[in-house]
Amino acid sequence: MHLLFLSRPDRGHLYPTLRLAEELGGRGHQVTFASGDPYVDEAAGPGVRVLRFGRDERGLLDMAVFRAQGPVDAVVADPRTAKAAPAFGDLPVVVAGTNLARGHEWPGERAFDPYVFTVPGTRGAVHDPWRPGGRRPVLLVDGPPIGPLVRAFGDTEWQVVVGDSTRYAGLPHADVFLTDGRLAAVSAALRAAVPMVLAPGTAEEAGYARDVVALGAGRIAAPAELPAEDLRRVVEQLRVDEPTDATARRLAGLVEAAGAPATAADRIEDLLTAAPVARAA
């Protein structure tokens, strides 16, 4: 098959579906991997042609080098490019991304069907990843308000990283992740084996937070409503909670296997050889 991958980089300027494209190219498929980001890798694995489409995915249609590759059999889009897929014809469309998929013991993506989960690699990184200073414990924060954190951790040994420019790049160095529970954050934390303190702000986030608690990978708290000492106690307890840490490590192994390039490629091949394949919602 000739597979067209439409990709825009995530906040860390990674190309999460590039490893998947290379896996499919290595299996003998013709793969065009197209992105609008100027830092996309110039070289890819066998069977993969890398193109840039500028600001709009539809720009590919005007490129002679794209048209010369022959007709496309199916489109593999990411969540940010899925709406552009119909421009390439009445083709099967699969959305592939780094949010976890349903059908496992963790919360999963509901916005797209069909959807394939893929673990991101490190390709295309253009930002220096954040690294901690010294051996102080690290609390990575995404979502909850800053005020309670200042009161709770301002005079402690904790390094509190708020508003990371590459969003979840600091997770490999974090001891605890304080998040509002959005699916992208939960997915990233489960991949990185980092226990979570969850402060959901919406009904959807509350559902994901309950799923994480049921898995044994985190606790729910409301930082804005907790006295500083109580918030600090929750985070410090989670940092040294060995059962939670063991569960997080076990789940990370399962997540890695579920989103490995070979596993994701098998899923895409199964979807595209089934008849018919519905256009992604």
Amino acid identity for residue 245 in this structure:
D
Check pLDDT > 90 for residue 272: yes
Handedness of CA 166, 130, 7, 280 (dihedral sign): negative
Question: DSSP for 111-176?
Answer: S-SSEEE----STT--SPPP--STT--EEEEESS-SHHHHHHHTTSS-EEEES-TTSSTTGGG-SE
pLDDT at site 281: 47
**Taking the chain, what is the end-to-end CA distance rounded to the nearest angstrom?**
22
Looking from the CA of 208 toward its CB, the CA atoms found within 13 Å total 28
CATH 3.40.50.2000, domain 138-255, yes or no: yes
Specify the CATH number for 2-119+259-273; select among 3.40.50.620, 3.30.200.20, 3.40.50.2000, 3.40.50.2300: 3.40.50.2000
> What does the pLDDT look like over 228-244, one tens digit per residue?
999 999 999 999 999 99
Mean pLDDT of 177-182: 95
> What does the pLDDT look like over 149-159, one tens digit per residue?
989 998 899 99
> What does the pLDDT look like over 41-57, one tens digit per residue?
778 999 999 999 888 99
The domains of the chain are located at 2-119+259-273, 138-255
Output the pTM of the full model.
0.90
Asked whether the domain spanning 138-255 has the same topology as the one spanning 2-119+259-273, the reply is yes
> What would the two tokens of residue 210 be?
């309950």
SS3 category, 196: strand
pLDDT at site 126: 62
Under a CB-based contact definition with an 8 Å cutoff, are residues 2 and 73 in contact? Answer: yes
Instruction: Break the chain down into helix, strand, coil percent, rounded to 5.
Output: 35, 15, 45
Residue 141's DSSP bridge partners are 162, 178
> What does the pLDDT look like over 67-109, one tens digit per residue?
999 999 999 999 999 999 999 999 999 999 999 999 888 999 9
